[in-house]
Amino acid sequence: MTGESSIKFTALEPHPGFAMTLTPVPLAPVADLSTTSRRRSVARLIEPLEELTRTSPYLLRTSVRTRPNDDASLLPRYIFLGPRGGDAPIRIGIFASIHGDEPEGAQAVVEFIQQLDQNPTLATGYVLFIYPVCNPHGFENDSRYAQSGRDLNREFWNNSEEPEVQLLQDDLTHHGLQGILSLHSDDTSEGLYGFVRGVTLSKHLLEPALARASRFLPRNQNPLIDGFPATNGIIHQGYPGILSPPRGMGPRPFEIVFETPATAPAAHQRQAFLAALHSVLEEYRKFISYGANL
């Protein structure tokens, strides 16, 4: 908001004598409308995806309301069915905006789906379960928290009564995911970083994702990030209750939380997220095909 907000309103005010004849001039800079007075909207965010579900042979919508008869509780869900690869499809979950005041991940995910639809071979061999907005109420109200006031990303596998968490837990239980990728933006970090959990492989997926994304934003090289020891922007611990797969159900998926610096320009954050998403798909496919050839 730095550049746009310095525009002077006075320069845009029409002279009284011309007011009736001139084409109306907007009285506020467009940037102000989008960042402050115009409320964020899940429906507006997913418009291009809704359009795609009507034409794309790859994209399915499975969106669901978490509260009956409450349109504002719509949690958008999509399945992107990539072209068939050689083996059984690889099932990956992509989750954004579980903190509603981190909209860049949601926007990146929408763009990602559009890119895959334009160039489906990028998703060859994959079935992607995509959740652009895990916290619809927070997203629309620019709040980290859910309607209840709780942080949904501390509620998992703890008998939570949050309907969003219950829905996501059900999906995490039933989709048999081989990997989970969560997108966040951190306003206390000056650079990119990520958390890894689950299988060792996670680290080997996050490293190239951070490397590719660092074309757009710097990596956080601090030895301590968010209170955790970090090496080259990679943290091996995490908070209890974060969005994660259920324990003890088959092979453990890879788990990556990818964080952009929230104070960086939104466009750069989106580019970084897109780079990370593409990197993870490419790198994991390599691991799978290498494993298949052993």
Piece in contact with Zn ion (CB under 5 A), picked from 37-45, 76-84, 102-110, 273-281: 102-110
| Minimal distance, residue 261 CB to Zn ion, in Å | 12
Cβ proximity to Zn ion, 104 vs 283, nearer residue: 104
In the 3-class helix/strand/coil scheme, how is 150-203 assigned residue by residue?
Answer: CCHHHCCCCCCCCHHHHHHHHHHHHCCCCEEEEEEEECCCCCEEEEEEECCHHH
Cβ proximity to Zn ion, 65 vs 150, nearer residue: 150
Cβ proximity to Zn ion, 182 vs 202, nearer residue: 182
φ/ψ of 61, rounded to 5, equals -105, 135
φ/ψ of 172, rounded to 5, equals -60, -30
Cβ proximity to Zn ion, 147 vs 182, nearer residue: 182
| Minimal distance, residue 102 CB to Zn ion, in Å | 5
| Minimal distance, residue 263 CB to Zn ion, in Å | 14
| Minimal distance, residue 259 CB to Zn ion, in Å | 7
Give Cα 262 to chain centroid, integer Å.
13
| Minimal distance, residue 120 CB to Zn ion, in Å | 30
Piece in contact with Zn ion (CB under 5 A), picked from 32-40, 46-54, 177-185, 234-242: 177-185
Which of 45, 49, 80, 99 is close enough to bind Zn ion by CB under 5 A? Answer: 99
| Minimal distance, residue 249 CB to Zn ion, in Å | 25
Which of 40, 77, 137, 184 is close enough to bind Zn ion by CB under 5 A? Answer: 184
Cβ proximity to Zn ion, 99 vs 212, nearer residue: 99
Q: What is the CA radius of gyration of the chain?
A: 21
Piece in contact with Zn ion (CB under 5 A), picked from 2-10, 61-69, 98-106, 270-278: 98-106
Contacts of 166 by beta carbon, 8 Å cutoff, 6+ apart:
66, 160
User: Rounded to an integer, what distance in angstroms lies between the CA atom of residue 129 and that of residue 79?
Assistant: 5
| Minimal distance, residue 50 CB to Zn ion, in Å | 26
Cβ proximity to Zn ion, 40 vs 184, nearer residue: 184
For the chain, the straight-line distance linking the first and the last C-alpha, in angstroms and rounded, comes to 52
Q: Is 108 one of the binding residues for Zn ion (CB under 5 A)?
A: no
Tell me which amino acid residue 117 is: D
Cβ proximity to Zn ion, 178 vs 182, nearer residue: 182
Q: Give contact residues for Zn ion (rule: CB under 5 A).
A: 99, 102, 184
